[in-house]
Structure 1
């Protein structure tokens, strides 16, 4: 059912009139402060006529969405005060930075966080001057903005973040403003379905607010131009109950406020009823949560016409409506008239402080949306209760003696993590928890789903701790919102398709980077990725599923933020993941296979190896007490196996060769310590990789990444890397390796090519290695599987 808040809603009492007049004054003050941020360097109270030197030389910012955001903030404040609610405001239109900074200053939070920006005229002047100004603050709802968990610089993620914030927060209302331009993005379109994953008892409430103001930068928005019945049907089809508020710029503001207040009350009453019925178990049906639709003019209350062209209600209001204020006296006069239209003399006293009546229009303390601890999740963060992963480790009597599926072993430990943390840990992924061998978690929880559940479904429940939906964007957004509000989680994904969230990872990395420099922003739990079903084991999916490049993407981010781990077996995977779930303010990427594979290190050796991040495997090496002839380095589970298989061939055919095996778990150990805090010193690096010794490096990903990380090292000219070369198809595991020259026979040939003197003396052996490749390829083409001596190879031990 669609509810339209139309007509001139009546104001019931004198108290209502006073409340709405206070609300209107607060809204005008927020708009005044917003315009001041975009334009002014000085004269913040307009205590003297506005002159060109009072205006910034570069006008940056976005006015168009701002008055709608301040309007919604003011009306939310009203219901929060009346009902004593805790709320978080998620700003989808990222360019609404002036609005959320203004409201934070008006509520006093900004001055508490930044004492030099006081709640007076000098503070207002600093507030205005710093906005979009060198050395100041960005124009978005950035980490510097109190009350923000979502910058919105890239549109599309607000609603997913909002639902992530609401999970396991039963007392929290998350008001999420979705811009109508943002609503055109793919991630946002999917996020409307997140209402099927919210438990009305144990989770909080998300109130989506679709703000239709008609335009993007230069074009109309789709949702503002479709017929009203079509828009309402769309929202109803998503499972919402729309409540529509229409605003006409020519209306009496008090009538608009009265109508909006009535709509907001109906929305909050409906939410309260849904939650009460769910707690009383009166209804098992999935609730139809309300969605508020606000239609207001773009650039509302701003200049209507500039230079003879319409501005308010058009795309011209998107950024800076008056662009030549310093040069054009007419523009300067319009700006002054615009700012004075808010009647600042009624809003601020002679010292620039908000008049006492304004404070009553907003909640106090932590109930101010700009001061809620939910927007500074580190204040609420509690360490996970992590069970001892050693209880799940694989017994490895000697290297290679047993096989196991690394992620299946990890799943048994993650099951215990879920059991020990029933309200602060979530596992998310795009329909791949079971595929990625983590299904042990279903012994203690289910997949969360509040839609229809059929008898044939398995592990579905309205109360599950696992979030699965076939949208990497939505999964990532859920987890980010969950982490940013003080909880923990793990994202598991096929390696090739995690690229779908590349841009989201960019945004989160930038958020963490900036937050780390803001003293009042407390550290949050790391964003943890487990990438499996990886490039080297995509036998039935083929080329489309073969891409290890997410590692390269992550390594581009600031080194104090990113960590990349490639554990070679189950025990190192357990130790690595235990470390990642304890970490803060990082993006951790862990790559591990799910297929049956040899296990190399026992529990204690695995812990020690992960603590080092890189190390010599003495049990596989033959250079003890002598100079090394060649280093065989490996990083990743399959490259490690192929390296060790190459070692056995070298032992058989070149027993006199002194070989060192170096395994890398922490990829960033390869980098110079001036580039990454995990980097080895040159001395440490040279001890592992002697400067005059050739190094054959078998790498999980694209080989040039290793060269990039080590280009400053002394022996870089002797480093030869094998990895993925964008060659793939649907084929056997070993044929996949041969396609990319990462197989054991090619590694042996590389040794012969690069160790001085071997090439001339052992040309026949090199030829034999190439013949072995031909033999294996012929076998795969004839039988459809790898030769038994390759498929069933074991470390001799």
Structure 2
């Protein structure tokens, strides 16, 4: 039973038992617009040409217009690509062009969820001359046409997915589920932009897409553009039926109506262009009606935005059968419909018959390599209105107008200050200065994460809430990390800046999304035509060190390691130790370009260790000796204490103060690291060996008290000299619902553990410590045990646990 669909290609969905009248929820196709014969022929010719080119890209390395009989040597040695989605994508692309030509004031982007349909997109881009605009070797010419077809999925050519090298793209689609949220993010604060987004019916099964359907509820039609979602129902994934492919129109109408959409079906294959033209015109009309009402200050309460459900056969147009297997309309067309065309004569003959069915000689001149004039007449004349050359997709970003961060700092040695509250005051001014180029995306955690000060000047942009709608809020909170990430990607890739504050433990939900974005950005920056982007900025707070009330599930710093694993050129991780350093770091990140920035910050009040000027110097250096916490300002230490992270820094400073009192003969140097990358040996921010030794000495032991997993630091230090002298303590997967200080004790990062490590290491160099090592370590561990006993008896930490350390 390997092939359970052998006798039933693209079977119609089994009918539901919903009442017949439910289809009134959807727009009837009886009002279909009938294109003129000329317009219909032009659209059909564009589609035919694009379909041919897409198929040829998958198969041919020579004889690209099939001007002679196909031979095995004309077929590529390795057949890569996904044909199944290409005809549907070409249909949509052609009708976006028709819409652009019909509406001279329209600007549109095309977001492609089935990113593996790259042959279709590249074919259309070549026809509209956008490919040649950015890549001279792909001009509309015989050589450009040959390069297009033979170079696809071959070394040195375009990859098999819609990647950052593809003009007009801001989303690859390699990992399914994110297209729709990216599309919504792209049109925020772009009032004249309409993003057409195709979502494959396989992609629509993903959790991120399920949440992203709600994106329109965060779209203020007065200030932003719109999205036309097109669900492409072709019935199959790689080999399994799709959920939507098994739903009839009644079920789908109910589904989308419940989500707040007005659905319309495009499914009449005999009149598909009339059907699609009517649907696209209808969708744009609905959008403009909603926008006009909002911009006339009479917004519609809960408007029903358009969604198009497009039913076409999988692999539409390819051979119907291969032996006893259906191809067209079945999962066999998902990738390469005729996978043995180079070796099997029957498949080679089927391929030739298939390619010749498009009559490409009637569409592209073999001598000039140019499409016929009626095909190109569908393409917008204005260059920047062409899908591949819309400026938002490649021009780069508008830098923010940032206030002076020092205006928001606190006095050194003042009452303890929450770093998150400090940046809240800073962000108030950022929002006031950048009303249409800055947003905050967060999973409903701004209040918890101490950023509520921003609500002095803005609100939440939630259009389904009568108290929030139509007020231009700069904050979007939705309890879907995937949707926040997708919104941020779309917003950033179209030239704006955003931050994503979140609980530390749940940023890992978007780990692979972040990685996919970083790869897209890396490839984009390696083109010679994409502009720089604002960095994407994560603020990781509500960290494990203060998640003792929520318990073990909320204690997880793994996202740090995910960012560390990225290409060094594009990743940054910061651990500002106090509020002043956090302000300096955030200001830097909001100015930076093309990075993935991760800031690990505390929302709880902590001491201010450094003045504004000292914080600036410290953050610029990435790591400095804290003379105030060191013995004799750090000269000639027996051991070096390295603090990374807010709470772990407090424990190191407390340990240093305790050691000064208990063991005055022991000499320590305290180093604080705020830019984690300075520890590495192969990163743009890495300290050179001289700089590393100036901080950490050449031969003394280094006790690292680190916020995250110890292996993060060990991996960075690999390649340094004498790394065997480094002892790293960090989060060790020990936790529960307990007290904050018990979390320090459980994970061996408390001041007592730091002090005990220090005594052991110092005894190697200081005879006065050597002779007392056993009694000192025993005493420290005994004190730690007494504190733990107190916590378990009283249900709270001793009152002096968080007193600021004194060094007098």
TM category (shorter chain) comes to over 0.9
Q: Shift of residue 53 of structure 1?
A: 1.0
Q: Is the 8 A contact 2:29 2:264 kept in 1?
A: no
What aligned pairs does 1:174-253 form with structure 2 within 5 A after superposition? Answer: 174-248=195-269, 251=270
Matches within 5 A, 1:70-149: 70-84=90-104, 85-149=106-170
- Residue deviations 1:378-429, cap 9 Å, x none? 1xx2110001111100111xxx443101100110001110110000000110
- 1:344 and 2:371 aligned: no
User: Which residue, out of 737, 740, 747, partners 1:740?
Assistant: 747
Q: 2:455 aligns with which of 435, 442, 460?
A: 442
**Aligned equivalent of 1:367:** 385
Whether contact under 8 Å (1:137, 1:144) holds in the other structure is: yes
Matched, 1:553 2:562: yes
Q: Is the 8 A contact 2:115 2:174 kept in 1?
A: yes
Matched, 1:69 2:89: yes
The answer (yes or no) to whether the contact 1:427–1:491 under 8 Å persists in 2 is yes
Q: Check whether the contact 1:489–1:527 (CA below 8 A) recurs between aligned residues.
A: yes
Asked if 1 retains the 8 angstrom alpha-carbon contact of 2:170 and 2:493, the reply is yes
Q: 1:150 to 1:307 in 2, by over 3 A?
A: same
Alignment of 1:566-715 (within 5 A): 566-624=575-633, 626-672=635-681, 675-715=682-722
Report if the CA contact (8 A) 1:8-1:259 is conserved: no
SS in 2 for 1:695: strand
Give how far 1:792 is off: 2.8
Deviation at residue 312 of structure 1 after TM alignment: 0.7
> What does residue 77 of structure 2 align with?
57
Residues 474-553 of structure 1 aligned to structure 2 (within 5 Å): 474-553=483-562
| 8 Å contact from structure 2 (residues 26, 263) kept in 1 | yes
Are 1:790 and 2:808 an aligned pair? no
Shift of 1:740: 0.6
Change (3 A) 1:505 1:372: same
How far apart are the structure 1 equivalents of 2:519 and 2:770? Answer: 49
Q: Is the 8 A contact 1:97 1:141 kept in 2?
A: yes
Q: Paired residue for 2:466? A: 453
Question: What is the rounded CA distance, in whole Å, between the counterparts of 1:383 and 1:9 in structure 2?
Answer: 46
Matched positions, count: 778
> Which residue number corresponds to residue 43 of structure 2?
23
Q: Structure 2 vs 1, CA of residues 156 and 239 (structure 1 numbering), >3 Å: closer, same or farther?
A: same
SS at match of 1:536: helix
Q: Deviations over 1:122-170 (max 9, x none)?
A: 2111111221112222111100111110000000000000000010000
- Is contact 1:570–1:599 with CA below 8 Å preserved after alignment? yes
Partner of 1:752: 759
Deviation at 1:759, TM superposition (A): 4.3
The 3-state SS of whatever aligns with 1:293 is strand
Contact in 2 for aligned 1:401/1:795 (Cα 8 Å) = no
Query: Is the 1:559–1:676 Cα contact (8 Å) retained in structure 2?
Result: yes
Residue 47 of structure 1: CA displacement? 2.2
C-alpha displacement of 1:628: 1.9
The answer for the alignment partner of 1:354 in structure 2 is: 371
Match of 2:316 among 300, 308, 327: 300
| 8 Å CA contact retained: 1:6, 1:246 | no
Whether 2:791 is the aligned partner of 1:771: answer no
- Structure 2 gap ranges (5+): 1-23
Equivalent residue number for residue 5 of structure 2: none
Structure 1 spans left out of the alignment, 5+ residues: none
Checking the alignment, whether the CA contact within 8 Å between 1:690 and 1:715 is kept in structure 2 is no
Distance between the aligned counterparts of 2:144 and 2:134, measured in 1?
13
- CA offsets, 1:639-671, max 9 Å, x none? 110001000111112212221111000000001
- Distance (Å, rounded) in 2 between the aligned partners of 1:283 and 1:473: 29
Secondary structure of 1:448 counterpart: coil
More displaced 10-residue stretch of structure 1: 612-621 or 236-245:
612-621
Contact 2:238 2:331 in 1 (8 A): yes
Q: Deviations over 1:445-467 (max 9, x none)?
A: 0000111336xxxx676421100
Counterpart in the other structure of 2:294: 278
SS in 1 for 2:720: coil
Match for residue 761 of structure 1 among 762, 772, 775: 772
Report the equivalent of 1:417.
Answer: 430
Deviation at 1:539, TM superposition (A): 2.6
Q: Secondary structure at the match of 1:511?
A: helix
Alpha-carbon deviation of 1:272? 1.8
* Structure 1 residue 767, shift from structure 2 partner: 1.1
The 8 Å contact of residues 639 and 700 in structure 1, kept in 2 or not, is answered as yes
CA distance in 2, matches of 1:95, 1:416: 43
Question: 1:284 Cα shift?
Answer: 3.8
What is the TM-score of this pair, normalised by structure 2?
Answer: 0.94
CA contact (8 A) 2:114 2:198 kept: yes
Distance 2:611 2:48 in 1: 67
Q: Offset at 1:437?
A: 0.5
Q: Provide the C-alpha distance between the structure 1 equivalents of 2:183 and 2:575, rounded to a whole number of angstroms.
A: 32
Asked whether the equivalents of residues 450 and 462 of structure 1 are also in contact (C-alpha less than 8 Å), the reply is no
Return the offset for 1:8.
10
Q: Deviations over 1:354-386 (max 9, x none)?
A: 1122111121311111111122151xx211000
Q: 1:7 to 1:313 in 2, by over 3 A?
A: farther
Aligned twin of 1:376: 394
Range with bigger deviation, 217-226 or 324-333: 324-333
CA distance in 2 between partners of 1:272 and 1:603 (Å): 50
Change beyond 3 A, Cα 1:691–1:727 = same
Residues 447 and 461, structure 1, Cα contact 8 Å, conserved in 2: no
Equivalent residue number for residue 426 of structure 1: 439
Q: C-alpha separation between the residues in 2 aligned to 1:390 and 1:161?
A: 34
The 3-state SS of whatever aligns with 2:538 is strand
Q: 1:78, 1:361 within 8 Å by CA — same for their partners in 2?
A: yes
Q: SS of the residue aligned with 1:721?
A: strand
8 A Cα contact 2:222 2:470, kept in partner? no
Change (3 A) 1:114 1:440: same
Whether the 8 Å contact between 2:290 and 2:300 is mirrored in structure 1 is no
Whether 1:35 aligns to 2:55 is yes
Task: Label 1:257 to 1:27 Cα distance change in 2 as closer, same or farther (>3 A).
Answer: same
| TM-score normalized with structure 1 length | 0.96
The answer to whether 1:325 aligns with 2:341 is yes
**Aligned equivalents of 2:549, 2:465: Cα separation in 1:** 32
Distance 1:117 1:271 in 2: 36
Q: Separation in 2 of the partners of 1:754 and 1:460? A: 61
Give the C-alpha shift of residue 63 in structure 1.
Answer: 0.2
- CA change 1:221–1:389 in 2 (3 A) is same
Is the CA contact 2:634–2:670 (under 8 Å) kept in the aligned structure 1?
A: no
